[in-house]
A = this chain, B = another copy of it.
Amino acid sequence: MTSRIDDLVARTRAFIDTHVIPVEDEFDGDVAAAGGDELRAGLQHEARAAGVFAPHAPREYGGLGLGMAERAPVFEAAGRSLFGPLALNINAPDEGNLHLLERVATGGQRERYLAPLARGEQRSAFAMTEPPPGAGSDPGALRTLARRDDDGWLITGRKKFITGADGAGFFIVMARTSGEPDSTGGATMFLVPADRTGIRVIRHVNTMDRSMLGGHCELDLTDVRVEQDDVLGALDQGFHHAQVRLGPARLTHVMRWLGAAQRAHETAVRYVSERSAFGRPLAEQGMIELMIADNEIDLAATRSLLLTACRVLDAGHAGREETSLAKVFGAEAAHRVADRAVQMCGGAGVSADLPTARIAREIRPFRIYDGPSEVHRMSLARRAVRRYGGPR
């Protein structure tokens, strides 16, 4: 890593410690309780002042223009606080949407959607998943329909687990323009401003995590009108374009969780360093040392897999396999690390007196979000079978 990145990491870390963690601690990581969009505006203002805002965004839109491998340590530093990514404008789903727009959007779409997103003036949501039996871990089950109407389309359907939907300025809606549910083709992405008639947040799904601004929502779309220039990318190429978003979004997730897991780990190591039981410091007791070491191993392996995948993406490859490996290992490792951190801190560990329980709570769903571990494993297995399964 260059010294430029080292410096940015150090400044990010200092900013998080000083400006963000105190708020997170006060509100036990509940972003709505801490002020929601108002909190976001305040933190982003401070991040801009600290020169750590939007490290991922293109320079032309005011960002720092970092590549994937460069992002890794910066996003990790931001992820140390559950509110850190929000402060730097690198939280999901905005960060992935920005990446997608950067690659696929037309000039006009960039000005209208990408620019305010990069500057933090708007939030966005990626409306793909649906309630059963629609698109969930299996995108091919997509049921939301965009049917032709004059020059445009009318979109009707139901979306579920749409992160950040409440308060988003616009949605990227995946709808079927051809084919049938359970066929893998025929999806198109549409850019839909939140004030467009017929799109409506039904409810927040009450999930265990509470740090994602705008919640995980259920959306109703009834005859939402979209025009030709609302199409993002090419017609019927929605699943293909989603791949563009997929790889980097997976990796930045891992970067952020890694930061949270690392903080839980450090909290626990400090805790056991300051306490004794049965006449010996906890930190010198073998079962505690085992948990510390296993955390170190999990964190180091996640970092190594992450960096390997980042380099593949930075070299211009899709990195389907490498990003799956980093995601599935990273999500499970972060969960284990947080769980061990909770255990090491005993009663305090399951309370809001320390950040461990809240980090564990926030990390748990990521073994499901963004592709459950089981689906990633299925995909990894199939690749291996294609690679090694032939006769020899």
Contact surface of A with B, Cβ cutoff 8 Å: 28, 129, 132-133, 136-138, 140-141, 160-161, 182, 205-209, 216, 265-266, 269-270, 272-279, 283, 285-290, 292-297, 300-301, 303-305, 307-308, 322, 325, 328-329, 342-343, 346-347, 349-353, 357, 360-361, 364-365, 367-369, 372-374, 376-378, 380-385, 387-392
Assembly stoichiometry (copies): 4
Q: Is the CB of A350 within 8 A of B364?
A: yes
How far apart are the CA atoms of A182 and B287 in the complex, in Å? 21
Q: Is the CB of A380 within 8 A of B296?
A: yes
Q: Is the CB of A384 within 8 A of B296?
A: yes
Q: With A138-B278, A141-B277, A266-B388 as known contacts, state yes or no: A286 contacts B378, CB within 8 Å.
A: yes
Nearest 8 pairs between A and B by C-beta? Answer: A286-B286, A273-B389, A304-B304, A293-B377, A289-B381, A206-B352, A292-B381, A269-B388
Q: Is the CB of B287 within 8 A of A378?
A: yes
Residues of B within 8 A of A384 (CB): 265, 269, 292-293, 295-296
Q: List 16 A-B contacts (CB under 8 A).
A: A205-B353, A207-B351, A265-B384, A269-B385, A273-B389, A287-B289, A289-B381, A289-B382, A290-B290, A290-B374, A292-B380, A292-B384, A293-B328, A293-B380, A297-B329, A300-B305
Residues of B within 8 A of A301 (CB): 301, 304-305, 325, 329
